[in-house]
Amino acid sequence: MILRKITNAVMFMLTGLCALATISVLFFILGYLVYYGARSLNWAFLTQLPKPAGEAGGGMANAIAGTAKLLLLTALMGVPIGFVAGVYLSEYGRGAFAFAVRYAADLLNGVPSIVIGIFAYALAVVPLGHFSAFAGGVALSIMVIPITIRTTEQFLRAVPQSLREGALALGASKSRTIATVVIPAAMRGILTGTILAVARVAGETAPLLFTAFSNTYWSHGWLEPIASLPVMIFNYAISPYDDWHRQAWAAGLVLLALMLAANIAARMILSPKAGRA
């Protein structure tokens, strides 16, 4: 009787402590970023180009725009492939091939991002002869595909079979049923998963190191090396200058704010109150 109560109390405390540890980590990171980064976060940081080493001030406007451009490429190249493959797995995929695709997607998800970086280097940097935003987009696309596949498949599978039957019974073909009933019914979930997937790769550094490389200046078009927030954080953090260290913290804060915004947007899309049906 007493032993049972003690066991109960111990278990409660143990689980509670672990839960507390989890959220503490997040708040420590947030606190650190704000403490060290907020001081360097000013209008110049968001609008100016980096200053040469040794000169104080300057900003990371090119890296912020660069991250945006890289994510746009990811959304245009990786997301559609992952989405369509996810539709295949959910609606058509049966047998050995579908099993192989599903398994490959899970494996691809687990491939270290640095390895994906090397692969994208061989695929898109070597043939072109130079680093480019495009190559960075390829690397990030490869990372986003498996996540998009699995979220798309998962949300499509959650669409009740009765809806598919309803459309088929009205004489709709299978592809039409998928396009006009199944996908719209799952669209909110898929959109949410996609936003989170893109936000997740927004912070990747390793795949960009030898694909997008970096750039001290603005990057024009899609075929020049391009600066990005994660690579900028990496470069500034390993530099010997205190001012750069502070700017790296500020860049970290901006990156985290972007992800937080993406998360909130995703939750708003997914919440049942947003939009009818």
Nearest to 245, CA basis, from 22, 23, 35, 24 = 35
Q: For residues 78-97, which are near other proteins according to CB under 8 A?
A: 94
Q: Which two tokens stand for residue 4?
A: 């049972």
Q: Do the beta carbons of residue 211 and residue 225 sit within 8 Å?
A: no
Residue 65 or 179 having the CB closest to other proteins:
179
Of the pair 107, 170, the CB lying nearest other proteins is at: 170
- Check binding of 165 to other proteins (CB under 8 A): yes
- Say how far apart CA 255 and CA 244 lie, in whole Å: 16
Output b/e per residue, 27-58; b: 16+ Cβ within 10 A.
eeeeeebeebbeebbeeebeeebbbeeeeeeb
Which range touches other proteins (CB under 8 A), out of 55-63, 109-117, 176-184, 212-220?
A: 176-184
- CA angle, 71 as apex, 29 and 216 as ends, to 5°? 80
Residue 16 or residue 160: which is nearer to other proteins going by CB? Answer: 160
Q: Does residue 273 interact with other proteins by CB under 8 A?
A: no
Q: Of 142, 149, 181, 195, which lies in the binding site for other proteins, with binding defined by CB under 8 A?
A: 181
Tell me how far, at minimum, the Cβ of 124 lies from other proteins, in Å.
40
One residue of 166, 221, 238, 271 binding other proteins per CB under 8 A: 166
Distance, in Å, from the CA atom of 135 to the CA atom of 128, rounded to the nearest integer, reads 9
From CA 111, how far away is CA 116, in angstroms rounded? 7
Q: Which of 1, 23, 162, 240 binds other proteins (CB under 8 A)?
A: 162
Binding of other proteins at residue 175 (CB under 8 A)?
no
Q: Does residue number 269 form part of the binding site for other proteins (CB under 8 A)?
A: no
Q: Where are the alpha helices (DSSP H) in 38-132?
A: 43-47, 61-87, 95-110, 113-120
Nearer to other proteins, 181 or 258 (CB): 181
- Binding residues vs other proteins (CB under 8 A): 94, 160, 162-173, 176, 180-181, 184-185, 276-277
